[in-house]
Amino acid sequence: MSNLLPFLPTLKMASLIVRQGARLVRRNVLLTSVRASSASHAVVDPLKGKVPTDQKSMPDNLGHSVGAERFELLSQLAGNEDPFEMNVKKRAKGTFDEPTLVPSINTKRLVGCICEEDAISINWMYLHKGEPKRCECGYWFKLAELQPVNLS
Ligand SMILES: [Zn+2]
């Protein structure tokens, strides 16, 4: 070990370079696999609304939108008016045996109950998958699994 002491800063630098190189390779491998998997399941035209045409002089909202907003606009074009199930829904019977079903793709969802017709506040609560929950007004809610919509 004493023979290596003069080279210790060099060894540390070499170790640092190797670690940085390994990190770069790992990151690129992960990104490549994600890109490859998402490209094979493309369900919408990635250029829809983003390519200029002779018929339009100004781009519409679809051309400007990205991410969740773009998904919502494309879903509406495909005929699904409420892709995130965010519209206000009427309560069902609301008993324990027949609760109001709230669709969700996750294991929990924030739900607001307008307990009375003339209420000025919304009673918010979390619904968890498999656990029916009762609002303060007495109505029961239950999380229902939402099936993903295929746009292709
Ligand atoms: Zn309520």
Single out the residue of 108, 105, 107, 148 nearest to residue 124, CA to CA.
108
CATH of region 85-152: 2.60.11.10
Element (H, E) at 150: none
Question: Is pLDDT at 38 greater than 60 in this prediction?
Answer: no
Spatial contact of 34 and 27, defined as CB atoms under 8 Å apart: no
Averaged confidence pLDDT in the chain: 79
Question: Is pLDDT at 9 greater than 80 in this prediction?
Answer: no
Find the 125 Cα to ligand 1 centroid distance in Å. 9
Token match 């003339």: residue?
Answer: 118
Find the 147 Cα to ligand 1 centroid distance in Å. 26
CA separation for the pair 32, 27 (Å, rounded): 9
Find the 149 Cα to ligand 1 centroid distance in Å. 29
Find the 112 Cα to ligand 1 centroid distance in Å. 8
Find the 146 Cα to ligand 1 centroid distance in Å. 22
CA separation for the pair 38, 8 (Å, rounded): 45
Longest dimension (CA), the chain: 85
105-124 pLDDT per residue, tens: 889 999 999 999 899 999 99
Find the 119 Cα to ligand 1 centroid distance in Å. 10
* Cβ partners under 8 Å of residue 92, min gap 6: 98, 99, 100, 101
Question: Is pLDDT at 12 greater than 50 in this prediction?
Answer: yes
Structure tokens at 69: 């907003």
Q: What is the DSSP string of 71-88?
A: HHHHHHHTT-S-TT--S-
Find the 109 Cα to ligand 1 centroid distance in Å. 15
CA separation for the pair 112, 96 (Å, rounded): 18
pLDDT band at 143 (very low <50, low <70, confident <90, very high): very high
Find the 83 Cα to ligand 1 centroid distance in Å. 24
Instruction: Tell me what percent of the residues of the chain surpass a pLDDT of 90.
Output: 30
Spatial contact of 139 and 113, defined as CB atoms under 8 Å apart: yes
